[in-house]
Chains A and B, each alone.
Chain A
Amino acid sequence: MPVRSYIQKFRHEFEYHVQAQVLRRGSCCTSASPGMRLRLFIDTMPTVTINQKPIAVPDGTTIIQAAEQLSIEIPRYCYHPGLSVAGSCRMCLVEIEKMPKLQPACNTRVTEGMVVTTNSPKVKEAVSGVLEFLLINHPLDCPVCDQAGECYLQEYYMKFGLYDSRMNENKIKRHKAEPIGPHVILDTERCVCARVVCALSAKSRKATRLAFSTAADSRNPVVARPSTGQQLFRQRGGYLSRWRLDRP
């Protein structure tokens, strides 16, 4: 009889298994040790090391949030705390020990004992490369751009870029004025962060407002109508419609 032999030979394993299940259901089990109950019932606080600085954060925190608590700046474009994580701009790549490839910090949750480096030459090279990709089709009209001076493209270029342009091809031309709401016009050539896509596909107005508050003037609060914007993108095509909008 296989059942008999299995249980006879591995009795302790079966017992542990059953006990854990009973505990998980929450019923009182006097025989369980307090330590075991702790492990099963209390949320864990994984300790992560970012640039040699350790920090314990609640389970489910992403690397970018943990780094913020340590005042370590990780460059980002598409990440915004008020929006869902897109993980698309690839500016927040970090090096994680025992992982062969660089990972986006906005989309990777911390685990116990994780060792993260954000300032290694490998990361800097990758960030510089991504920035180059973002800038190859970006118009060079900074002198007439309202955002110039407070522009993360400019800021990160001075920090991570400082290369000579290798782009010998013609830049892609796109719509300069895409109306996406009563008070918002989207310049699809200048737009890089794709937050607008997240905002338009998000349900809440709060998220939308949050997303635009970084880009638009705070004195003229922006309320984009998600449904209108989505329809516009679908009908007219263009840069952002290359994105798949998840919500119908």
Chain B
Amino acid sequence: MVGTRLFCVSGHVKTRALTSCPWASLCDRLFTTTAGGIKDDRKLKAVIPGGSSVPILTADEIDVKMDFDSVAAIGSLLGSGGVVVMNEDTCMVKALLRISKFYAHESCGQCTPCREGTTWLKKTLQRVYDGDARREDLDHLLGIAFNMMGNHDLRACRCRCHARPQLYPEVPARV
């Protein structure tokens, strides 16, 4: 693909920016040069490459070209190009909870999986975040996400499913 694409870089960066970058420029270039690097010179933890509804990338995975095919090849999506950068201090459970709250609130309520599923995920995640989690909660979260995936009409609930596996390393600490 030729030409440029708009990216909105936000989160833990020095200068949040709406920039026009050439297609297939490297993902880490986006926020190291364009946005001035990570805020307070912390280490990078994760990047959402295309808005809150797409699968998240870990710090090891960001050596990727920002075009649809390359991002899809590593299991994420470019979406609307809303790049969110998270530094090492970010609590992924909290981040996911915040996103879940948004989608539970914004679900239009038409289709069952999204209407019921987003609220259920939000409640369960809230419990996990509050330190009241149970051993089986993670499997339930994955199960709910699996059932929502593909059975809905709307994009809103797709995101829930994607963000999930990234949660695994952190949650046991909270259980």
Residues of A within 8 A of B (CB): 86-91, 93, 101-102, 126, 129-130, 132-134, 136-137, 166-170, 172, 242-244
- Structural contact, A133 and B147, CB atoms closer than 8 A: yes
A residues less than 8 Å from B146 (CB atoms): 129
A residues less than 8 Å from B110 (CB atoms): 86, 88, 243-244
From B109, B134, B147, B152, give the contact of A242 (CB < 8 A): B109
Residues of B within 8 A of A (CB): 108-113, 115-117, 119-120, 123-124, 127, 134, 136-137, 140, 143-144, 146-148, 150-153
- Structural contact, A133 and B116, CB atoms closer than 8 A: yes
A-B contact pairs, 30 of them (CB 8 A): A86-B110, A87-B153, A88-B111, A88-B112, A89-B111, A90-B113, A101-B150, A126-B150, A126-B151, A129-B113, A129-B151, A130-B112, A130-B113, A133-B112, A133-B113, A133-B115, A133-B116, A133-B120, A137-B116, A167-B120, A168-B124, A168-B127, A168-B134, A169-B120, A169-B123, A242-B108, A242-B109, A242-B115, A243-B109, A244-B108
A residues less than 8 Å from B144 (CB atoms): 166
B residues less than 8 Å from A102 (CB atoms): 150-151
- Structural contact, A166 and B119, CB atoms closer than 8 A: no
The majority secondary structure among interface residues of chain B is helix
The majority secondary structure among interface residues of chain A is loop
Min CB distance B26 to A, Å, is 30
A residues less than 8 Å from B108 (CB atoms): 242-244
From B123, B140, B150, B152, give the contact of A166 (CB < 8 A): B140
B residues less than 8 Å from A243 (CB atoms): 108-110
Report how far A91 CA is from B115 CA in the complex, Å. Answer: 14
- Structural contact, A130 and B120, CB atoms closer than 8 A: no
A residues less than 8 Å from B116 (CB atoms): 133-134, 136-137
Contacts A129-B147, A166-B140 known; list 10 others, CB within 8 Å: A87-B111, A88-B112, A90-B151, A134-B116, A166-B136, A168-B134, A169-B124, A242-B108, A244-B108, A244-B110
Closest chain A residue to B119 by CB distance? A172
From A126, A133, A170, give the contact of B117 (CB < 8 A): A133
7 shortest interchain CB distances as A-B pairs: A129-B147, A242-B109, A133-B116, A169-B123, A101-B150, A88-B110, A90-B112
B residues less than 8 Å from A88 (CB atoms): 110-112, 153
- Structural contact, A130 and B151, CB atoms closer than 8 A: yes
A residues less than 8 Å from B112 (CB atoms): 88-91, 130, 133-134
- Structural contact, B152 and A132, CB atoms closer than 8 A: no
Report how far A86 CA is from B136 CA in the complex, Å. Answer: 35
Known contacts: A134-B112, A136-B120, A172-B119. The answer to whether A90 contacts B152 by CB under 8 A is: yes
